[in-house]
Amino acid sequence: MSVKNEFSKYANQYNSYNIVQQIAAKSIIRDINYQPKRILELGCGSGQVIKNVSWEYDFYKAMDFSQNMCNIHPKANNIQVECFDFDSDAFFENIKNDKYDVVISSSALQWSKDLAKIVKAISSISPKIYAALFTSNTFKTIQAITNKKSPILDEQSIKKAFLQYCECEFETITYNLEFDNKKKLFDYIKKSGVSGGNTLEFKDAKKLYKEYNLNYLEFEVIFVKAFSKS
């Protein structure tokens, strides 16, 4: 299953299974100590970021590659919700003439196939970027047991991409999310979207279920405050 399809499949359940994503979204908004009037959000999902915005803004463009997510995102006259893959030419064409006070992205850009290209584009249309990205250390014990490489970017690759075009402040935080039993833990992996559509063969899944002895899942999130050099 592709990343896009996984997010789409569980869109209506997403708010029950995106606990760490919600924490990240709240943290980003809390760090914005001014009131930007024109906002672009990449990877808006079902609206966990915009629901935390308490100030009045003139225009908010929210973008996500899952149409199902876009369908349930909050709507208003000054909110424009568009379905785009941020790695696509259509995305870059759509934003190239825009201007924003800030670009926000929570728990999304780690899926990019060319993060540096995205940072270059958004730093040219906004002086500030606030982002949170999961790193490849998310689910690190699962990766060790299954010998499967993480589908998302590592911390150093994320930093390198942003530093090419921005002055940056970084903070990396580890979260452990506890569960009452293994069934709930593995349901969360499937429905939270963090696994990126990576499915295990039956024998690997059986091995993981048998050998995963932690009562929690590991997440690592890097928070980025980026200030455009352009």
CA dist 131 → 69, 162, 217 (Å):
19, 10, 22
Q: What is the mean pLDDT of the chain?
A: 88
- Per CATH, is 3-228 categorized as 3.30.43.10? no
Provide the CB-side half-sphere exposure for 79 (13 A, CA): 18
What are the structural domain ranges in the chain? Answer: 3-228
Band of residue 71 on the pLDDT scale cut at 50, 70, 90: very high
pTM for the full model?
0.88
Rounded distance between C-alpha atoms, residue 222 and residue 155, angstroms: 7
pLDDT digits (tens, 9 = 90+) for 133-178: 999 999 999 999 988 889 999 999 999 999 999 999 999 999 998 8
pLDDT digits (tens, 9 = 90+) for 75-119: 999 999 999 999 999 999 999 999 999 999 999 999 999 999 999
